[in-house]
């Protein structure tokens, strides 16, 4: 095979400090509108997925149960497959929830940026404002140890969010997923020569375990946005801040030449 001589290595140019404006003008009002728009979009995507999955559930379940030509095992595999799709969609919904939380904090940060002098809106200032907004919300889920120290409480985070509309929306899709998986397991083992009550117990237990795993994954992933408040690590902060791409309105010093 002949080597393509036109396939050159890409060499990015290093920017000079002289290329950068002394004051970088930012339309903060428009930036806030964009961030809020993205926040709303994440919610709309979540609602669309849940509606689609409920429609699939209401269509496939009665159809599969009414098909006389299929064995119990085949019907079980159909339900198990749809349930597995539900697990994938559940993690997509978790992803939307994470971005919605970050965009909410992003909107608050942009609001705070409006009170800062334009020439002072550099990397350190923007990140500090983002951290302060993160901490302001995260403090609601902390227990006070003494006058100067707070400790993160997973139980407090769980208690304050379990009945929120965001969590209830997620539980809807997680519950449907677990019902389908339980039904799929029950039908798959239906012809096995064991007691019927044992089949029901096994399939129900499996469904409940999956439901608990999904809910646990939801809370752990959402909590990780605030992980910098727990471990104080730079990597934890960057994990959350990297998703707030609206706030990356500065040039990194590493990209510039002396």
Backbone region of residue 232 per phi and psi (left: phi > 0; alpha: psi in -120 to 50; beta: other values): left
Q: pLDDT per residue over 120-151, tens digit each?
A: 788 888 899 999 999 999 888 888 777 667 78
Half-sphere exposure for 72 (CA within 13 Å, toward CB): 9
Please state the φ and ψ torsions of residue 102, each to the nearest 5 degrees. -65, -40
Beta pairing, strands 256-257 & 149-152 = unpaired
Position 251 scores a pLDDT of 64
Position 131 scores a pLDDT of 94
Q: pLDDT per residue over 202-252, tens digit each?
A: 999 999 999 999 999 999 999 999 989 888 889 989 999 998 888 887 666
Mean confidence (pLDDT) of the chain: 85
How far does CA 126 lie from the centroid of its chain? 23
Position 237 scores a pLDDT of 92
Question: What is the greatest pairwise CA distance in the chain?
Answer: 80
Position 3 scores a pLDDT of 56
Q: pLDDT per residue over 142-183, tens digit each?
A: 887 776 677 888 899 999 999 998 999 999 999 999 999 999
What is the sign of the dihedral through the CA atoms of 24, 29, 33 and 38?
positive
Q: Which has the minimum average pLDDT: 8-12, 84-88, 105-109, 200-204?
A: 8-12
The residue that leads in pLDDT, 48 or 195, is 48
């Amino acid at each position: 095979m002949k080597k393509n001589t036109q396939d050159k290595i890409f060499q990015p140019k290093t920017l000079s400090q002289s290329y950068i404006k002394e004051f970088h003008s930012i339309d903060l009002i428009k930036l806030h509108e964009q961030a809020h728009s993205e926040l709303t979009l994440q919610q709309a995507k979540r609602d669309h997925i849940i509606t689609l999955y409920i429609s699939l559930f209401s269509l496939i379940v009665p159809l599969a149960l009414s098909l006389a030509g299929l064995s119990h095992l085949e019907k079980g595999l159909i339900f198990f497959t749809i349930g597995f799709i539900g697990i994938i969609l559940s993690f997509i919904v978790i992803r939307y929830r994470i971005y919605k939380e970050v965009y909410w904090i992003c909107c608050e940060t942009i609001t705070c940026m409006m009170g800062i002098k334009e020439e002072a809106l550099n990397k350190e200032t923007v990140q500090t404002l983002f951290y302060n907004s993160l901490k302001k919300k995260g403090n609601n889920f902390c227990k006070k140890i003494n006058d100067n120290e707070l400790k993160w409480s997973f139980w407090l985070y769980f208690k304050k969010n379990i009945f929120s509309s965001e969590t209830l929306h997620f539980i809807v899709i997680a519950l449907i997923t677990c019902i389908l998986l339980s039904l799929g397991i029950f039908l798959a083992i239906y012809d096995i020569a064991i007691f019927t009550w044992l089949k029901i117990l096994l399939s129900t237990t499996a469904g409940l375990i999956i439901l608990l795993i999904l809910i646990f994954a939801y809370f752990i992933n959402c909590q990780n946005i605030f992980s910098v408040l727990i471990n104080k690590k730079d990597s934890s902060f960057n994990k959350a801040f990297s998703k707030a791409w609206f706030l990356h309105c500065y040039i990194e010093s590493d990209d510039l030449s002396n």
